[in-house]
Structure 1
Amino acid sequence: MKIAVRPLVESDLAAADRVFRLAFGTEFGLPEPMAFRGDSDLVKTRWRADPSAALGAFRGEELLGSSFAARWGSFGVFGPITVRPDCWESGIGKRLLEPTLALFEAWRIRQAGLFTFPQSPKHVALYQKFGFWPQALTAVMSKPVEPRRERGQWSCCTGNPASLRACAELTEQIFPGLDLQREI
């Protein structure tokens, strides 16, 4: 199968969203895989954060998978990487990882990370081929919450230079060069 990996453009986002929902919805065994994440818009949000870090795997004009990366100063994170379920086990995830990690090299990332399914040997093994090893299992916990009676006030951190400086000071202590201003 001849696959080309290139940056996603805005007209690719609807197809990338379909692949994202179908892949995760299928992996989680949802009766309606396309209902995964409801009305959220993760794909478009990740693309808008940095279009050059959103990659697609194409067979001709047909999108088979995508990968999103983020640069937070000297720290890089990638994901989600999604592949259409009918193309699983065909090497597309690996093909998407190679240029994603090349972005990290170009950005001079000093520490890179990702989140994956710890219960899935195939996912863990894929990332281990690229030098990523599990560091800690994360317990994902939930609790129902009561809706607030009063409405909170929104504030914009980007309009407050002191808040941005405080964030930069905090993240620098966590990891030298960690910078979340692009996300904020």
Structure 2
Amino acid sequence: MEELEFRIRRLTRKDIDAAQSLAQNVWGDQAKRDTGMNIAYPKRLRRMFEGYLHADPRGSFLATIEGKAIGASYGHKWGRVGWIGPIEVSTEYQKHGVGTLLAHATVDHLETVGCDTIGVETMGDSEGHVEFYRRIGFSVHSPTFFYEKRLESDPGLSGETILLPFTSYETILNRAKELSERISPGLDLSVEFWMSYVANLGRILVYQDPNDPEKLLGASVVYGRTMEGVDTHLLRLLIVDPDHDDQQRVANALLQDSEFLVRRMGGRRMFFSCPATATSVSLLAERGYRVIGNNVRMTRGAKYAERGEMQIISWAG
């Protein structure tokens, strides 16, 4: 095998155009391998990359040969929990150690900034992808599933959630951090709420305790379009207080109003990924969601577990 002389460095704003093209080509090639057809794969929007860099300016890495971008990886820090995603390497440079060095650089960074647990979600039906992460210290944690729903009609509003105004996003950060901690010690999802506004990625819905408006029972982060020319919107996050006595009601209201919000933003489909629980399987089936794929969640470091009947917390980039 020919030895490549490539360089790993931190990805900056100046690299976003190259990273966009790299991602489009990598996933276009993957789609061709999966289907046998040449597919014009959509480009991930620039604001997605800007969001990565807003959240952690030093957490993303680029592999280059003579200045040409051949690979990239993105690290994300949620308190003491970190995750990697995606790792993208040009087809012609795969199996040359590029992805391994990108992964090591990202893991080293996340450990340096205080992450005890590091996770990733990779293709569940690809033994090659699973083995790649095993070789660098990850072990299988649990399956996750991609859900999608076509929003044929306006679902209406539940009347139980509040759409947070742009000017008020800071008011939720501490409460989101406290709720995250109840779901999993050391987890801090407040960065996702902050990033949705700072990088103009989406909107926030909150479900407050009717008896104590300062107490957050649940929240969701709904992204606008993430890909050019695609009417599918991402439900980035949906979390529910694991100690609340009617978690399904909170989750159902947040799902309904997230669907409503997607329709108002011009979307006609909503998708997300999450682990399966008895509540999530039954509730999502009742609301008309279908499984369109699966990943496997892998971790290294401290053990990770989530409390609650339904948490949509994805490590898929």
* Structure 1 counterpart of 2:6, one-letter code: I
Q: Cα deviation per residue 1:129-164 (whole Å; 9 max; x = unaligned)?
A: 112122222222322112538799852477255532
Q: Cα deviation per residue 1:28-62 (whole Å; 9 max; x = unaligned)?
A: 22645552356575333323332211100111211
For the structure 1 residues 107 and 38, does the alpha-carbon distance in structure 2 shift closer, same or farther, using more than 3 Å as the test? closer
Q: 1:115 aligns with which of 103, 113, 121?
A: 121
For the structure 1 residues 68 and 43, does the alpha-carbon distance in structure 2 shift closer, same or farther, using more than 3 Å as the test? same
Distance of 1:109 and 1:69 partners within structure 2:
11
3-state DSSP class of the match of 1:143? strand
Distance of 2:49 and 2:102 partners within structure 1:
16
Structure 2 gaps of 5+ residues are 194-317
Question: Is 1:169 aligned to residue 169 of structure 2?
Answer: no
Mapped contact 1:83–1:93 kept (Cα < 8 A):
yes
Distance of 1:177 and 1:157 partners within structure 2:
27
Query: For structure 1, which segment, 157-166 or 58-67, has the greater mean C-alpha deviation from structure 2 after superposition?
Result: 157-166
For the structure 1 residues 156 and 127, does the alpha-carbon distance in structure 2 shift closer, same or farther, using more than 3 Å as the test? farther
Distance of 2:131 and 2:105 partners within structure 1:
18
Question: Is 1:63 aligned to residue 69 of structure 2?
Answer: yes
Distance of 1:113 and 1:133 partners within structure 2:
9
* Structure 2 counterpart of 1:105, one-letter code: E
- Partner residue, 1:155: 164
Superposition pairs for residues 68-79 of structure 1, below 5 Å?
Answer: 68-79=74-85
Structure 1 gaps of 5+ residues are none
User: Structure 2-normalised TM-score?
Assistant: 0.52
- Flag the structure with higher helix content: 1
Distance of 1:14 and 1:75 partners within structure 2:
29
Equivalent pairs counted in the alignment come to: 184
- Partner residue, 1:19: 22
Superposition pairs for residues 99-110 of structure 1, below 5 Å?
Answer: 99-110=105-116
* Structure 2 counterpart of 1:22, one-letter code: N
Query: For structure 1, which segment, 150-159 or 59-68, has the greater mean C-alpha deviation from structure 2 after superposition?
Result: 150-159
- Partner residue, 2:278: none
For the structure 1 residues 22 and 172, does the alpha-carbon distance in structure 2 shift closer, same or farther, using more than 3 Å as the test? same
For the structure 1 residues 153 and 165, does the alpha-carbon distance in structure 2 shift closer, same or farther, using more than 3 Å as the test? closer
* Structure 1 counterpart of 2:26, one-letter code: A
Structure showing greater relative contact order (alpha-carbon pairs closer than 8 Å, 6 or more residues apart): 2
Query: For structure 1, which segment, 64-73 or 48-57, has the greater mean C-alpha deviation from structure 2 after superposition?
Result: 48-57
- Partner residue, 1:3: 6
Computing the radius of gyration over CA atoms, which structure comes out larger, 1 or 2?
2
- Partner residue, 1:82: 88
Distance of 2:85 and 2:145 partners within structure 1:
19
- Partner residue, 1:136: 142
Query: For structure 1, which segment, 165-174 or 30-39, has the greater mean C-alpha deviation from structure 2 after superposition?
Result: 30-39
Question: Is 1:48 aligned to residue 63 of structure 2?
Answer: no
Query: For structure 1, which segment, 134-143 or 35-44, has the greater mean C-alpha deviation from structure 2 after superposition?
Result: 35-44
